[in-house]
A and B are shown apart, each in its own frame.
Chain A
Amino acid sequence: MEKQRKTDESRRGFLTGVAGAGALAVLGGEAWSQATPDTPAAPPGTIASEGIKAEKVKAMQWHSERPLTGSVPAHEHDFDVTPNDRMFVRNNLLTPVIDIHAHRLTVKGLVDKELSFSVFELAKAFPTVTLQGMLECAGSGRSAYQPGASGTPWSPTGGMGCPKWGGVRLADVLRAAGVKPNAAHVAGQGGDPGAVPTAAPVIRSIPMRKAMDENTLIAWAMNGEPLPWIHGYPLRLVVPGWVGSASTKWLHTLMVLDAPFKGTYMDSSYRVPRNPIEPGQKMPPDAVSAEAWPIKSMITSPAPNAHFKGSGPITVRGRAWVGEGSVERVEVSTDEGKTWRQAQLARAGDKYAWRTFTYEFRPERVGYVTFLARAWDDRGNAQPTVPYWNPLGYFWNGWHRVGVLVEA
C-alpha cells in the first residue's frame, strides 16, 4: 500500500509538470520517477488486478479478473463528468508498468518524416487540449442480446463513461510528420503484454477522417489527473464516440497506412454485419468494422426500486450520447412506451460529450411506476426497443428502463 501511494504521488508530479510547459523545463526528470506498485501476484512488468481495483469505487461490478473488466451500474453514473474511479475497465491483455521517462511515441509509415517524442516533448511541441469525450466498449449491453454472445457480459448500461481528457490533437502530430497522399488509416499500438509470447498485439486502426478530427486526442490526462495505470498511463489515444478499442492505451506507436490494419483485432473482432442477420447466425462475409456508437441513453437517477413518499415531483435524470452527429432530443415514457414526453436537455458541451437530461414527473397515484428513456439523434435515428442482433453482441442501445415505488 505504501508503494501504491508513492506511485500516485509521482503520477501527480508528472501532471503538474506537463500542465505548465515552464515547469517541465525547470523540474527535469526527477520529480516524475515512477515506483513499481507492490503487486507480487502479477507477471513481471504488469500490475495485478488488486492494485487496480483499489483505485475504483466499491460500487464497481467486476465481471472478470483475467482479463480485468468492470463497470458501475447506471445509477452510480449520475455525474455530468465521469470521475476516474467510476470509469469502466476493459483490457484485452495485461496492464503494463511503463516508465514515463523511457516511454516514447513513434510516428511512422506513410509520413514524410518519422517522428519520435517523449511525453514531455509532445506536450511542449503542440497546443494542449482538454475536452470531454465518450468512451464505450463495443460490447456494452451484450448481456441483453438473445441468444447470448461470447464476451464480457456487460449490462445494458455497462462498459462506458465520459471523462475529460487532456493531451494534444492527433491531427497536429500527424501534420507535423507530414501524411502522404495515399494515407488511409492510422493504427495505434500499445505496450500491453499478453500472458504468452505468442499473444498478438492489440492493434486497431481508424480512418484518416477520424484521425484528423480535432476531437481525436493523444492524451496523458484524465479529469486533470495523470492517466491511471489501467486507463493507459502514460499515453493513450482518445477516439471519442467510437468503440473503446479504437482508443489504444499505453500508446507507443502510430503507423500511417494505405488501408485498414490487417490483424485479428481488426479482422475477427470488433466487426458487425453490414445488414441485419437472423439471430444466432455466424458473422457474414460482408461484415464491417465497428466504429461509431449509435444513439443511446440511460437513466442515472432515480436508482431502480427507489421508494418515494407522497405526491411530490420525482426528477428523472440521465445521460444521452451518440458516436457521430448530435443528440437531438430525449423522451421519457411513464406508461411503458405508449406515450412519450420530451425531457429537458442540458446545453451541448463538447461535441462527443454525453448530455444530461431531466424530466419532472408528478405521481398521480401510489404504486409502481416505470420510466423509459429514448433518445433521438440529428439524423432522425431513435433508440430501438431491441437493436438488431449481431454475433459478437455489439452496440446494444435499447431503451433503458427504471422502476420505482411511490408510497402514500
Chain B
Amino acid sequence: MLLAAGFAGNLWAQNPDTLISGPGSTLTENKCKICHELQHVRRTPLSRGEWADNLRNMKERGTPMDEAEMAIILDYLSTYYSRDPAPPPAPDTLAGGGDPFQKLLNAHACSGCHAPDKRIVGPSFREVAAKYADNPGAAARLAAKIRNGGQGAWGAVPMPPNPGVSDADLKSLVGWVLGSK
C-alpha cells in the first residue's frame, strides 16, 4: 500500500508535473508524459533545430503522434522552451515602466502568441477587433474566450484557458483588444 501511495503521490500530487501553459501545451504534455516526466522537457531549452531532431527521435522511439501534431508540438517547444536568446524587450515592457496594457499582456503571457498588428501563433489584436466589430455581444464572447480558451476560430492551434485572470484585468484586456485598430 505504501508503494502505491509513494509512486503516484510523490511527483504528481505534491509537485504537479506540467509545462508552461500556451498553444499546444496540453498536446505536448499528453504525448511526452506517456513515457517520461515533463521535467525532461522543462530542464533543457533547445534550439528549434534541436527540438525538431528531438521530436523525430521520440517518434522513432514509438511516441504515437502524427505530422500535424508534431508541427504543433515543435512550435510550442521552440516558443516556450527555446535556447535561442529572445529579442530584447521593448522599452515599455520593462518592469515598472510604460504601458499598463502591455504590463497586463506580459503578466498573463498573452504576448507569447499575440501581437497588436501581426500574427504570431494566434491572431493579432487588430484582427480580433475587426472580427468582433459591430457585434453587440463581442465583449462577453471575447471575455469567455480569454478565460475558458477555445479552438477553431483562427485555425488548428487552440487558445489555452486562463482561469487566473481577474475580472478587472479581463475587463481591461477585452476593452483594449476590441479597440485595436
Q: Which residues of A are at the interface with B, using a C-beta cutoff of 8 A?
A: 38-42, 48-51, 64-67, 92, 147-151, 153, 194-196, 198-200, 264-265, 268-269, 280, 282-283, 391
Contacts and interface: CB of A to CB of B under 8 A. Distances in A.
Contacts of A268: 53, 56-57, 60
B3 A40 contact: yes
Given A150-B44, A200-B62, A49 B7 contact: yes
A38 B6 CA distance: 13
B7 to A, nearest CB: 4
B62 A196 contact: yes
A66 B36 contact: yes
Contact of A40 (B4, B36, B50): B4
A198 B3 contact: no
Given A195-B35, A199-B35, A264-B60, 11 more contacts: A40-B4, A41-B8, A50-B2, A66-B35, A67-B36, A148-B43, A153-B44, A196-B34, A269-B57, A282-B49, A282-B53
B47 A280 contact: yes
Contact of B50 (A51, A150, A194): A150
Main secondary structure of the interface of B (DSSP, over half): helix
Contacts of A194: 35, 61-62
B44 A48 contact: no
12 contacts: A38-B3, A48-B3, A51-B3, A64-B40, A65-B10, A147-B83, A151-B44, A153-B43, A280-B47, A280-B83, A282-B47, A283-B53
Nearest to A150: B44
Interface string B60-88: 11111000000000000000000100000
Contacts of B6: 41, 50
Nearest to B56: A268
A41 B35 contact: no
A183 to B, nearest CB: 26
A41 B10 CA distance: 12
B50 A196 contact: no
A264 B57 contact: yes
Main secondary structure of the interface of A (DSSP, over half): loop
Nearest to A1: B2
Give 3 nearest A-B pairs by CB, closest first: A264-B60, A41-B7, A199-B62
B13 to A, nearest CB: 13
Interface of B: 2-4, 6-8, 10-11, 34-37, 39-40, 43-47, 49-50, 53-54, 56-57, 60-64, 83
A60 B62 CA distance: 30
Given A48-B7, A147-B83, A64 B62 contact: no
Contacts of A42: 7
Nearest to B3: A50
A65 B37 contact: yes
A264 B36 CA distance: 17
A65 B11 contact: yes
Given A198-B64, A269-B57, A280-B47, A64 B7 contact: no
Contacts of A50: 2-3, 6-7
A64 B3 contact: no
A243 B49 CA distance: 26
A33 B156 CA distance: 55
Nearest to B57: A268
Contacts of B60: 200, 264, 268
A390 to B, nearest CB: 12
B57 to A, nearest CB: 5
Contacts of A49: 7
A268 B4 CA distance: 35
Contact of B61 (A39, A199, A282, A283): A199
A32 to B, nearest CB: 24
B50 A282 contact: yes
A35 to B, nearest CB: 15
Contacts of B49: 282
Contacts of A280: 47, 83
A280 B43 CA distance: 16
A198 B31 CA distance: 13
B37 to A, nearest CB: 5
Contacts of A391: 50, 53
Contacts of B63: 196, 198
Nearest to B6: A50
A379 B14 CA distance: 52
A39 B3 contact: yes
Contacts of B37: 64-66
Contact of A67 (B4, B8, B35): B35
A395 B141 CA distance: 55
Contact of A64 (B8, B39, B47, B57): B39
Nearest to A195: B35
A308 B39 CA distance: 39
A264 B57 CA distance: 7
